Structure 1
Amino acid sequence: MEDRQINPLMKSALEYGPILGFFVAYLWLKDRVFTIGGTEYEGFIVVTALFIPIFLIAMALQWRLTGHLSKMQIVTAVLIVVFGGLSVWLNDERFFKMKPTLIYLLFGGALAVGLMRGQSWLQVVMEGLMPLQPEGWMILTKRVMLLFFALAAANEIIWRTMSTETWVYFKTFGLPLSVFAFFIFQGGLFKAHGIEEDEEETGDAS
């Protein structure tokens, strides 16, 4: 199936809608306890159980509309199903809270392996979005690797030392805003190592 472009608003809705839905549902149900099959479940666990199929449906729609899912999206989906499922099955919210830690450790570790091989695996994923010279990709990859490890550490600290509500705010807003701010502050790198359109055309012509 060929990759297809979809409306950016639709793409954002499919990517962030389930996360925002999780946040709103948590605020609504956080203080409630549900008895299901003789077992009591706190609102967080119930919201997690609802989030998993909604996330998978949104991902399936994105694949149906675009014909493409990134490896990062697939890995994220697997971890959501595994650790969200464990939280629901064992009635233990800690598993779902660990998920961001493992995601960032896996992605950071993958970038580290690539760097040790002298390769920028970030370039393979993002080259179409940010045309950079090879040296620029290596620098950016090192910085993104460190960012992922820092976010993994931050997630561990927050879920282990703070309230569930604080963690939900951090997961919903803190993590995405941290990544957004990180790339905003890479302006100097993009300016120093970016490839201009005329350079790309010259390279293609050769």
Structure 2
Amino acid sequence: MTDQPNHAKLKAALEYGPLVAFLLGYFLLKDHSFTVGGTEYSGFVAMTAVFVPLTILSTAILWKITGKLSVMQIVTLALVLVMGSLTIWLNDERFLKSKPTIIYLFFAVLLGFGLWRGQSYLRLAMEAALPLTQEGWMILTKRFALFFLALAIANEIVWRFFSTDTWVWFKFPGLPILLFLFIMSNFKLFETYADKSETPEK
């Protein structure tokens, strides 16, 4: 049991490590440019070339130590590979900046499709960690779908109308903070719709 805190810290480091490395590297190199094969690349694109393999490596290690990957992790990895590669290949930072929009839209649509079918796909992923009644799951799923849609819109606004510095800060730590606040705002729902049948008898 003593390994649980260290295990959780390692998972967090693997999940956020590449993003933190990108953040630090970007602010160190943002005023620099690099010429490779006659093409000039900005610090943003240069750090994208570091971010992509770091994400692959960290995801591989995460899969190795846990034996599984969540849908979010798989979708994120796929989009990092595609959008990151396009950013480097076409020397255009807009591809990586639009990645969060695609991720959040994907999950908003996925959860919305489940709700339309009368199901909570969120429950399939989180039921073990968060026992709720069926009604509670439906309400929480609807809120998550709207939240993901709002994040997609917010990302589009930030990267299109604000500076790259602002977008980088919005990406991290802005988005994790928004997710934390969203979860905190649902504590009342967790209490109201807790599935009491999941509580072990003493």
Match of 1:148 in 2: 148
What does 1:157-168 correspond to in 2, within 5 Å? 157-168=157-168
Match of 2:116 in 1: 116
Match of 2:198 in 1: 200
Match of 1:24 in 2: 24
Match of 2:130 in 1: 130
1:104 aligns with 2:104: yes
For the 8 Å contact 1:6–1:65, the answer to whether it is kept is no
Measure how far apart 1:195 and its partner are: 2.0
TM-score by length of 1: 0.93
Match of 1:63 in 2: 63
SS of corresponding position for 2:41:
strand
1:11 aligns with 2:11: yes
TM-score by length of 2: 0.95
Structure 1: 4+ residue segments shifted above 6 A: none
Match of 1:85 in 2: 85
Measure how far apart 1:200 and its partner are: 1.6
Give me the identity figure in percent. 52
Question: Cα RMSD over matched residues?
Answer: 1.6
The 2-side partners of 1:7 and 1:113 are apart by: 34
Q: Structure 1 41/147 Cα, relative in aligned 2: closer, same or farther at 3 Å?
A: same
For the 8 Å contact 1:101–1:151, the answer to whether it is kept is yes
Count of aligned pairs? 198
Structure 2, gaps ≥5 residues long: none
Name the amino acid aligned to 1:54: L
Name the amino acid aligned to 1:143: R
Deviations 1:115-163 (A, max 9, x none): 0000000000111111111000000000000000000000000000000
SS of corresponding position for 2:13:
helix
